[in-house]
Each structure stands twice: as C-alpha cells, then as structure tokens.
C-alpha cells in the first residue's frame, strides 16, 4: 500500500474522499500577481515604488524587462500545482520601442503580450489600475484629491482600465477581476474626513460609468486601514469600501486584503459575514508581520482559516482569490512559489476537513467533542494527500528550491 492509499483510507473514515478533494483543488484558481517579480516597479516609469506601500531588500536577480518578468513567472508557474490566473497592474503596460502612453491613455493593445502569455497557458487575467508611483499623484492623493484635474486624470485612468479589463475577459473567455486601490490619505490628523471620501465616492462612480458587462468585468474596491506616510487617515477605509460595494451590488464587489485591518481582526471571520450579503467577494491573501508588511504567504493559522472559510461556506466559486505580497529580500521566484503553494496547501487541507461532521457537533452544542474532533483532524496525514496532488499536477511535492537555485545560478545572477 502506498502512503497515499493509506491516507485515503484514513480520510475515508471521516467521510472524506481525497480523490474528489484533489480534483476540486486543481480547479480553484489563484491569481498570481506579476508585481512580486520586480518589487512592484512596473514598466511605465523609472525608479521604485511610491505611494504608501513599500518593498524592502535588494536580493539579486530582479526582473528588469517584460521578457525577464514573463520568463520568471513561467518558472514560478512550473512549480505551482493547480489552476492559475495572472494578475497584472496597469503600470506593467508593455510598449513598443519608443512608444509611451500615460496612465489616462492606456489601451488594450499595450497589454497584448499579457493576453498572449495568459492565453498560451490557458489562464485568465485579472487587472489593477495603478494609482501610485506616478507624478500625477498630487500631495498623496488621486481619486480623492481636491484638485479637479488630478481627479479627472485618475478617473480617466480607471475608465481606461475597465476597457482593458473587458478586453482581457473577451480574449481569455474568463471574467476579469479589476481592483481599485488607492493609497489616498493623510499622514496626520485631517481637518476634513468626509470631503475626501465624498470625492473618492464620486470618482469611483465616474469610473464605473464606463460601460462594461458585470458578468465579465468585476470591479472591486479594496479598503485599507493605513499606509506608510498616511498613518492618520485613508480615504478608502473598511467602512467606506464595504459600503460602496454594498450600495452598488450590481456594479462591483468588495475586496479584502488580510494585511489591511487592525492586527487582531481576521479576514477569515469577515468572509462568511460578507458572503451573507454578496454573491461574490474578492481577496488579497498576504502575510502582515505587525503591519501590512506583505511578507510571503505561509501555511500559517490565518491562511488555513481563510481557506477553511472559503471551502466550508461552499464558496469556492464565489470568492476570487488573489495573492498580494512582495519581498525583495529573498529569491523572488521562490517567494511566488512558496506563497502560491502555501495557499494551495491550505485549500487542499480545507477540502480534506470533515466540515459537515464538525458543524453538526456545533449545532448540537456538543462543544467538548467538537473541540476534540477539531484537534484530531489536525493530525490527519495531509502531507500524503499533498504529495499525491502534486504528482497529479506534475510538480514536485517538495525540494522545489533546488530547481529555483539552478535558475538563479543560470539566469538571475547573470542579470547583475
């Protein structure tokens, strides 16, 4: 008997069909964010990242060109099991030689390479307007700026991005999640909190006036509690973003980034709350250490709990899952792969958990037995199911860093 056969038998005693879990896990797409590969720099401007988010570290081998980034993503993808989408930021427009279009004038054709890349790999694409790292960010503000011209520039950017998202959906045949996040806010105590938020609201209204098919383009509003340099106030707070999405349910969906809340709040608990009201929600899965530090996602308690809620709410088709982290202090391909695989492990483990049995114990108020059973479940041989899952998907179950190290030696280190 193989280890997987033995594990399968053990899980069957809990009423779990591990083959079915593997088959389902393979189909749950996770959106792989292009911006881990180059420290969120993008291709449409010189220099690094600005606007309330930050990468730290200077590990060698960062992708410097579209070709390098796509090659690195391919390497990462080759080591990740399961279904994928590619998450692109507007600042990653790929221009022809000598060509340039500012953010308000971006066109679908500037993202043709991304479409070709995704289509060739049978993947969908997600998209993000880029409201940061740009000279038109005025005094730290974009869509909520008191300056009309600044707002109009960024509204035009948002509308251009809707057209690009529609093109992505049309070309790939897969709906495109288009996430609106701005770092708009104030470093110190504002004298007006509602003004910026009213302007932000009206600007999003104006962006969403751009025609689109809501079954294909899914605009999201991502909230955030604070950012570097905007510690006192963010226009897109949790209440703002969630209320906007709730009041515009036929136009957009809420997006929760688990780095964007007060440290004792957990997104896992917010998922079932939102699912009571929204048909669809979106997530940015990240790992904050003490703040929204965007460390690589690991198989930690909150990642497991997020996956558990998605699975036990029966919501694998209602939650758009994306990764959002950026670590410049380690091998960037390893960062992608470890983060992606950690979330996949969490999903597989959630799919191999006897939720119906545990729920019954809760509903019958048999809490001592429920606690004991939940602890028993933690010791089930999920590693053997993971190994089988990886085998089925044609990727290594472990030891994947050897392959990355070879790529580092042969490709990444030659870039410096």
User: Is residue 31 close enough to count as binding ligand RNT by CB under 6 A?
Assistant: no
- The catalytically annotated residue of 224, 270, 304, 345 is 224
Instruction: Return the residues of window 181-220 that contact ligand RNT according to CB under 6 A.
Output: 181
- The catalytically annotated residue of 33, 89, 134, 284 is 284
- The catalytically annotated residue of 171, 184, 280, 324 is 324
* Cβ distance to ligand RNT smaller for residue 8 or 197: 197
Site residues for Zn ion per CB under 5 A: 257, 284, 324
* Full DSSP string of 90-115: GGG--PPTT----GGG--GGGGHHHH
* Cβ distance to ligand RNT smaller for residue 181 or 400: 181
* 192 included as an active-site residue: no
* 72 included as an active-site residue: no
* Cβ distance to Zn ion smaller for residue 103 or 284: 284
Rounded CA gap, 22 and 338, in Å?
A: 19
Rounded CA gap, 51 and 143, in Å?
A: 13
Instruction: Return the residues of window 230-289 that contact ligand RNT according to CB under 6 A.
Output: 257, 284
Rounded CA gap, 404 and 76, in Å?
A: 8
Paired with 59 in beta bridges are none
- The catalytically annotated residue of 39, 184, 280, 292 is 292
- Cβ–Cβ contacts within 10 Å for residue 412, how many? 22
User: Is residue 133 close enough to count as binding ligand RNT by CB under 6 A?
Assistant: no
Rounded CA gap, 63 and 23, in Å?
A: 34
Q: DSSP state, 412?
A: G
Q: In this structure, what token pair is assigned to residue 406?
A: 């070879």
Rounded CA gap, 227 and 141, in Å?
A: 13
What are the distances in angstroms from CA 290 to CA 259, 263, 293? 9, 7, 7
* Cβ distance to ligand RNT smaller for residue 298 or 373: 298
Rounded CA gap, 103 and 128, in Å?
A: 12
What are the distances in angstroms from CA 386 to CA 97, 381, 400? 45, 9, 14
128 binds, among Zn ion, ligand RNT, none (CB under 5 to 8 A by kind): ligand RNT
* 257 included as an active-site residue: yes
Paired with 221 in beta bridges are 180, 254
User: Is residue 224 close enough to count as binding ligand RNT by CB under 6 A?
Assistant: yes
* 409 included as an active-site residue: no
* Cβ distance to ligand RNT smaller for residue 18 or 203: 203
Total residues interacting with ligand RNT, rule: CB under 6 A: 11
Least distance to ligand RNT from the beta carbon of 35, Å? 5
Select from 40, 178, 230, 267 the one that contacts ligand RNT (CB under 6 A).
Answer: 40
User: Is residue 180 close enough to count as binding ligand RNT by CB under 6 A?
Assistant: no
Q: Are the CB atoms for 327 and 296 separated by under 8 Å? A: yes
Which residues bind to ligand RNT, rule: CB under 6 A?
A: 35, 40, 53, 128, 181, 222, 224, 257, 284, 292, 324
* Residues acting as catalytic residues: 181, 222, 224, 257, 260, 284, 292, 294, 324
């Amino acid at each position: 008997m193989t280890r997987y056969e033995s594990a399968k038998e053990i899980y069957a005693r809990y009423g779990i069909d591990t083959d079915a879990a593997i088959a389902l896990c393979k189909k749950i797409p996770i959106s792989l964010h292009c911006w881990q590969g180059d420290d969120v720099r993008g291709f449409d401007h010189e220099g690094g990242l600005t606007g309330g988010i930050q990468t730290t570290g200077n590990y060698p081998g960062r992708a410097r060109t579209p070709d390098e980034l796509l090659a690195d993503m391919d390497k990462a993808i080759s080591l990740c099991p399961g279904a994928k989408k590619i998450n692109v930021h507007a600042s990653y427009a790929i221009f022809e030689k000598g060509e340039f279009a500012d953010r308000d004038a971006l066109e679908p054709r500037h993202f043709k390479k991304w479409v070709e890349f995704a289509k060739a790999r049978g993947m969908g694409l997600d998209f993000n307007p880029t409201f940061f790292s740009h000279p038109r960010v005025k005094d730290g503000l974009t869509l909520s700026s008191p300056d009309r011209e600044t707002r109009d520039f960024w509204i035009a950017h948002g509308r251009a991005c809707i057209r690009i998202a529609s093109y992505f959906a049309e070309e790939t045949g897969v709906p495109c999640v288009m996430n609106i996040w701005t770092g708009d806010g104030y470093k110190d105590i504002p004298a007006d909190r509602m003004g910026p938020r009213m302007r932000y609201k009206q600007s999003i209204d104006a962006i969403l006036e751009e025609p689109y098919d809501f079954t294909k383009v899914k605009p999201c509003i991502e909230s955030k509690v604070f950012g570097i340099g905007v510690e006192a106030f963010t226009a897109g707070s949790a209440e703002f973003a969630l209320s906007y999405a709730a009041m515009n349910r036929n136009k957009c969906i809420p997006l929760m980034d688990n780095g964007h809340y007060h440290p004792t709040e957990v997104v896992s608990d917010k998922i079932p709350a939102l699912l009571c009201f929204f048909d669809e929600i979106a997530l940015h899965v990240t790992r904050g250490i003490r703040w929204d530090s965007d460390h690589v996602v690991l198989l930690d308690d909150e990642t497991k709990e997020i996956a558990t809620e998605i699975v036990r709410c029966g919501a694998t088709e209602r939650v758009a899952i994306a990764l959002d982290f950026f670590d410049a202090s380690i091998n960037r391909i390893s960062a992608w792969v470890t983060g992606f695989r950690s979330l996949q492990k969490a999903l597989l483990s959630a799919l191999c958990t006897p939720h119906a049995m545990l729920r019954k114990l809760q509903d019958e108020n048999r809490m001592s037995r429920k606690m004991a059973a939940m602890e028993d479940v933690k010791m089930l041989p999920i590693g053997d199911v993971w190994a089988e899952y990886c085998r089925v998907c044609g990727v290594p179950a472990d030891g994947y860093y050897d392959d990355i190290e070879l790529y580092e030696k042969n490709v990444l280190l030659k870039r410096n």
